[in-house]
Structure 1
């Protein structure tokens, strides 16, 4: 039997996410915010963390960003501009987020260069799925794969729903493996 392709995985996961009801999403988002606050507290108040603003049915919330901001010195959010690595901007609260390309919400300028990710001790990274080896399935644009090589020494943690932490995903040579996975019910999972 042939293993599913990345495209097939993406289609199945996005369909599954559309089926998650609002109460479940809210409970998951609360659990992720609590876990993010704990991760931030472990790093200490002087740390920089890179996170993201969820889009559509992605796990996470602005409450997660607020929890991080209360625990660390600086939370940076991605700024997606084609075709290069992500730029970054400080998170200054939900009211500072504006509509951006690709249906995202981002902080307003000024933006920091891609190299700002090197200051981070932790990156919380959106994903559609992650496998037990740390292989991350993103949406396919490659923004994170082009950016993560700049995150020298940072802990790379993908954020997914519990059902999206899977046994095996297809892997390409350019894929950057995660160090851990954060899920709502299971918390922080190290990967092999």
Structure 2
């Protein structure tokens, strides 16, 4: 299956989820992640602010921040690469490009992700055999993940049914080490 067709299929499935399902999924993912010692010990976390029917990260970002982690969120640059800025509470976000919520803090540069002890990356789906993630097609997170060290945990939150065996991979696609669904955490690579 080609990427555009697969993206349409996955986005349609997400659109069918009810607000109650989305909230329940976000809660389960957040609680499972926060129970992991390597998440609890991560002093600097690179994450993203979820939109629409993506697995919700708002509560996760807030909980990490309240538990003392420094949380960086992406700032989409004009060249579609990701800069990073620190989240300092719910009142420190403002709409950026395409209406995406971004921190208003000082930009730390595209290489700031290299210093993260944990990276939580968005995905429409992840291949269970290779860890390759399917994004929305802009390549922004693939470029960011290429900067992450090999021993840093990288996690993609997913809804049920989004961990698959049929994700097409191209040379620029980057894998994640873990996927997390409402039913649990899965080590991939």
The TM-score, its normalising length taken from structure 1, stands at 0.91
What residue number does 2:19 align with? 22
Q: CA shift at 1:130, angstroms?
A: 0.3
CA contact (8 A) 1:49 1:75 kept: yes
CA contact (8 A) 2:42 2:117 kept: no
What residue number does 1:173 align with? 171
Superposed CA RMSD in Å reads 1.6
Whether 1:61 aligns to 2:48 is no
What residue number does 2:148 align with? 151
What residue number does 1:71 align with? 67
Higher mean C-alpha deviation, range 123-132 or range 98-107: 98-107
2: CA distance, partners of 1:34 / 1:12: 28
Please give the secondary structure, in 2, of the residue aligned with 1:109: coil
CA contact (8 A) 2:46 2:72 kept: yes
What residue number does 1:162 align with? 160
Q: Which runs of 5+ in 2 are unaligned?
A: none
Whether 1:83 aligns to 2:79 is yes
**1:42 is matched with which residue: 38, 43, 47?**
38
What residue number does 1:127 align with? 123
Please give the secondary structure, in 2, of the residue aligned with 1:162: coil
Q: Which runs of 5+ in 1 are unaligned?
A: none
1: CA distance, partners of 2:173 / 2:181: 21
Q: CA shift at 1:32, angstroms?
A: 1.6
In structure 2, relative to structure 1, the CA distance for the partners of 1:63 and 1:173 (3 Å cut) is same
CA contact (8 A) 2:84 2:112 kept: yes
1: CA distance, partners of 2:103 / 2:66: 18
CA contact (8 A) 2:92 2:105 kept: no
Q: CA shift at 1:168, angstroms?
A: 2.1
1:114-142 per-residue CA deviation (whole Å, 9 max, x = no partner) reads 11101111101010000112010000000
The TM-score, its normalising length taken from structure 2, stands at 0.92
In structure 2, relative to structure 1, the CA distance for the partners of 1:175 and 1:93 (3 Å cut) is same
What residue number does 1:140 align with? 137
